[in-house]
Amino acid sequence: MNDEKKLVTSGSFLFISTLIVNAGNYAINLLLGRWLGPSDFSESSLLVTFMLMVSFFALAFQLTAAKYIATFEGDTNQQLQGVFISWLSKKALIVGFILMLFVLILSVFWQDFFQTSSYLPFIIFGLGLPVYLLMSVNRGVLQGLLNYKKLAFSYQYEMWVRLFVSVALVYAGYRVNGVAIGLTLSLVITWWFSRMSFQKPKKANSIDYQDITKFLLTILAYECSQILINNSDIILVKHFYPPFEAGLYAALALIGRIVYFGTWTVVTMLFPIVIKLEKEGKSHIKYFFGGLGLVATMAATIVGFCYFYPEILVYILFGKEYLSVAPLLWQYAVATALFACSNVFVYYHLSLEQHQPVWITIIAGIAQIALISNYHQSFKQVIHVQLLLMFVLFVTMVCFHFFKKR
pLDDT of 353 reads 78
Q: Which domain holds residue 167?
A: 1-207
Check whether residue 186 and residue 93 sit in a common domain: yes
One-letter amino acid identity for 204? A
Rounded Cα gap, residues 332 and 329, in angstroms: 5
pLDDT of 405 reads 73
Rounded Cα gap, residues 59 and 63, in angstroms: 6
Q: How many CB atoms are closer than 10 A to CB 57?
A: 24
Burial (CB count <10 Å: 0-12, 13-18, 19+), residue 77:
exposed
Check whether residue 387 and residue 260 sit in a common domain: yes
pLDDT of 100 reads 94
Check whether residue 262 and residue 225 sit in a common domain: yes
Check whether residue 151 and residue 297 sit in a common domain: no
pLDDT of 391 reads 96
Check whether residue 350 and residue 221 sit in a common domain: yes
pLDDT of 1 reads 45
One-letter amino acid identity for 174? Y
Check whether residue 26 and residue 114 sit in a common domain: yes
Number of domains in the chain: 2
DSSP string, 28-76: HHHHHHHHHHHHHHHHHHHHHHHHHHHHHHHHHHHHHHHHHHHHHBTTB
Rounded Cα gap, residues 270 and 290, in angstroms: 10
Kindly give the parts of the chain with pLDDT less than 70: 1-11, 73-79, 196-206, 268, 271
Check whether residue 174 and residue 275 sit in a common domain: no
pLDDT of 215 reads 81
> What radius of gyration, in Å, describes the C-alpha atoms of the chain?
21
Check whether residue 151 and residue 274 sit in a common domain: no
pLDDT of 199 reads 54
| 146 torsion bin: left (phi>0), alpha (psi -120 to 50), beta (else) | left
Q: What angle do CA 111, 162, 140 make, to 5 degrees?
A: 100
> How long, in residues, is the chain?
406
Which of 207, 222, 239 marks a domain boundary?
207
pLDDT of 266 reads 77
Check whether residue 351 and residue 245 sit in a common domain: yes
HSE-CB for 399 with a 13 A CA cutoff = 7
Check whether residue 140 and residue 232 sit in a common domain: no
160-189 as b/e: b if 16+ CB within 10 A? bbbbebbbebbeeeebbbbbbbbbbbbbeb
Which of 173, 188, 207 marks a domain boundary?
207
Check whether residue 345 and residue 404 sit in a common domain: yes
**200 DSSP 8-state letter:** P
Check whether residue 183 and residue 230 sit in a common domain: no
Which of 165, 192, 207 marks a domain boundary?
207
Rounded Cα gap, residues 254 and 316, in angstroms: 14
pLDDT of 8 reads 60
